[in-house]
Every structure is written in C-alpha cells, then in structure tokens.
Structure 1
C-alpha cells in the first residue's frame, strides 16, 4: 500500500546505537515506514549508500537493524555495478527508500550516470516514501551546504529538485552550517531553505512542508528566507513535534 500522496521525509537523524547490534532504526526511520501505510506484511526498505561509497559494513549494519525492526532491507549498490538492469522495478518494489549520509556531490554525480533521478521521481509519484539523512536529505531539494569538497563548506545547487527549496542539515552540531546557509540565501544562491538540527525530520506532502518532527528532545527546525529589500537572510524557528 503506497503513501496516499508523494511523500518525502528529509532528516538529520534516523539511526541510533543498538543494544545487541551496531545500529538500530531510530524513530525517524520508523516514522518513514509508518508513512508508507504498510499493513499486514513486513515493510520493505531500500537502503542507498552511494554518498558513503556503498560501504559493505554499513550495508550489513542496515540489514541487521532491519532484522531487529522486522523490516525487509534491500541494498541498492552502484559500486561496482547496480544489482539489476531494471532499477525502476527494483526501487518501486519497496515502501521506503532510505539514503545514507556522506558526499552529496558524489551521490548526485553517480546517480546521474545511472539515471536514478528519473527513477526516484517515478517512485515518489507512485507513493514510495523517499527519505534519508544528511546527503540523503539535501539530495531531494534544490541544493544545500556540503563538505563534499573539503572541510570548508560549499553550496551545491544541482539537487534533484523534487522539493523547490534549499536544505540545511546538522544545523546545531556543526557551527559553520548556519552562517553558510544564511550567506547563500541572502545572495540568492539558494531559495527559501529549510534546516534541521540533529534528530529532526521535515515531512513534505507533494512539495509542501506539512510538519517538522524530532526524535531528540529540544532539537528544532528552521526556515531561512531572503529579505529582498536588504538582501539579507531571515531565520524563523518552526514548530517541531516530538515523536
């Protein structure tokens, strides 16, 4: 049963340390699974680790976390080759796509080679919930701030653009993120930009932000807009619901 309408949950969280495994699914991943509307069977989650270089240990960690959570986890590796000739059928056979963190610049370049942007758009329109953390959050937007090129943040503007906004991640844990986002929005390099502290997710139905949620008490979400008359950026904190 697909989500009732195109749904994206863009986050700065999702995983936690496990009791008997290295990681477990946190409340944000469970929320993404709930959004898919699955009933009467085990949910199917597709883990995409392109941004981290398709690390086999992370694939194993995600599969193990899925076993603990009662979720069937499939892995979409692109290194050294995709698992199938029909990526569209593979992706659309899942309820949730979870994209891990890492280099969003490399992720976007590799996805373009394999035509995954069009595949994910079809999946999104068909009701597969698109989700992820960090690079896996920025990718669905027009762009955002990234350390893909080095420790000094740069702005990418070639995101998939399903959501016509900028995106800022790790807003509270990396001190250079906020000023870089403000600079980019003020200059018009990024459009209106939604940002998340660690542990926070942004829920979009279609292209509309409907709520911000958090798995961590006290963490917040924000919107940064350009004030045209003064060419400055203005930030507003958003209401955030604790999961």
Structure 2
C-alpha cells in the first residue's frame, strides 16, 4: 500500500546491536514503514550500493527483516542488477532503504544504471524513500562526504528530489558542522538540513515536516544563508517509540 504522498525519511541512524543476530532495525526503519501505511508484511527493499552490495551485510539485513516481520529483498547492482526490471521492482515496494558508504560511488553507479528516473517514479508513486548516511545524502542536491578521502568534501550531484543540502553524523564527526557552514556560506550548498546520529527528517514532497529520533538528547538542524553568513537553527525531534 503506497503512502498517500511523496515521502522521504532521511536519517543518520536506523540500526541497533542485537543478541541473536548481528543487528536489528531500530525505530527509524520502523518509522519509514509506518509512513508507507503498509499493512501485513511490509515490502522493504535494501540497497547496499554505497558499500559494494556486500553479500554478508545483505544476510544481516535479511535476519533483521525476519525479526521485524518485514518482507525484505535486496536490490544489488554488483556485478549486475539482480532483478530483470529494476524500475518495476522499486514500484512494487513499500519502502526503499539505502545503506551508508560512499555516496560518490553510489551516485556514479546509480547513474550508470539510470536509477534517478526510477527512484523519482517510485517516490511519485508513493513508495517511501529512506536510508542512512550516504542513503540520506543521495536524495538531496548534495552534502558533505568522506567519499574522496579522509578530508571531508562537498558532493553536489545528488538526485535532488529534495532541493536542499544534507549533513549527516552532525554530532559524531567534528568536521561535519564547520564544513556545512562553510559550504552554505560560499554558495556551494543551498540551505542544508542536518541530523545528529539517531535522527531522521521527514519530508512531504520537498517540505520538511518533522524531525524524529530513536535516541534521547539528539537534534536536527537547518543551516541557511543570512546576510552573507551561515546561520544554524536547531529543530527538536519527536522521540520515536522503541520497536
């Protein structure tokens, strides 16, 4: 059952350690499913392109899906797409969850396979687009990344479904915040929406409607250009219920 509007949940979280399995889906992944309005066993496809479609991690995700009661599939692009009709597969889902890794490599591989139009079609059809880190930045015009080396740089060729910039891991990697401010101030990035670890941003179309969190004490932020300098506004997230 697709969502009733174009929905994106962009996050710096979604996983937690588990006891019997390697990981479990935390509240942000469950919230993505809730936003879809899915009933029964929600259909969630996982994309690990940013880390090279690691098969061992795909298995961890399948186990997490079993625990959560989700119908999990993995959409792999290495060494070739593992489904005949990638665009059709995306349209069949309730949620697309994109994992972290190298956002620059993710965008390059997606471009080779022409996934931009397919993702837009899924979004416009009501499939919830979501993900963590690289899987957050990809939906925006750009953001900050360590894809090119230890020194953070800007990436500006995101899918731009959301016309803003995106800053992830805002509280856990000390170089992220000053770089976002510098890139907004010099015009490299537009108004930029940022998340501490464990926080997600919910969009209805391109409108930011809410920040949500699976951890206490975390924040979201909007950095915009005012009078030639970057100004930061904190948004207090709504605390999600632990699954």
Quick check: TM above 0.5?
yes
Deviation digits for residues 122-171 of structure 1 (CA, Å, limit 9, x no counterpart): 00000000000000000000000000000100001100000000000000
TM superposition shift of 1:18: 1.1
CA–CA distance in 2 between the matches of 1:84 and 1:44? 15
Q: Map 1:20-99; keep pairs closer than 5 Å.
A: 20-39=20-39, 41-99=40-98
Tell whether the 8 Å contact from 2:199 to 2:213 is kept in structure 1 after alignment: yes
Deviation digits for residues 27-50 of structure 1 (CA, Å, limit 9, x no counterpart): 0000000111012x2001000000
- 1:218 maps to 217
Pairing 1:183–2:182 present: yes
- 1:121 maps to 120
CA–CA distance in 1 between the matches of 2:5 and 2:76? 27
TM superposition shift of 1:83: 1.2
- 2:106 maps to 107
Deviation digits for residues 152-206 of structure 1 (CA, Å, limit 9, x no counterpart): 0000110000000000000000000000000000001100000000000000000
Q: Map 1:225-240; keep pairs closer than 5 Å.
A: 225-227=224-226, 229=227, 231-240=228-237
- The size of the alignment, in residue pairs, is 240
CA–CA distance in 1 between the matches of 2:237 and 2:83? 40
CA–CA distance in 1 between the matches of 2:104 and 2:16? 25
**TM-score using structure 1 length:** 0.98
Q: Which ranges of 4 or more aligned residues in structure 1 deviate by more than 2 Å?
A: none
TM superposition shift of 1:84: 2.2
CA–CA distance in 2 between the matches of 1:212 and 1:90? 29
- 2:132 maps to 133
CA–CA distance in 1 between the matches of 2:161 and 2:154? 18
CA–CA distance in 2 between the matches of 1:72 and 1:85? 19
Tell whether the 8 Å contact from 2:75 to 2:83 is kept in structure 1 after alignment: no
**TM-score using structure 2 length:** 0.98
Q: Any gaps of 5 or more consecutive residues in structure 1?
A: none
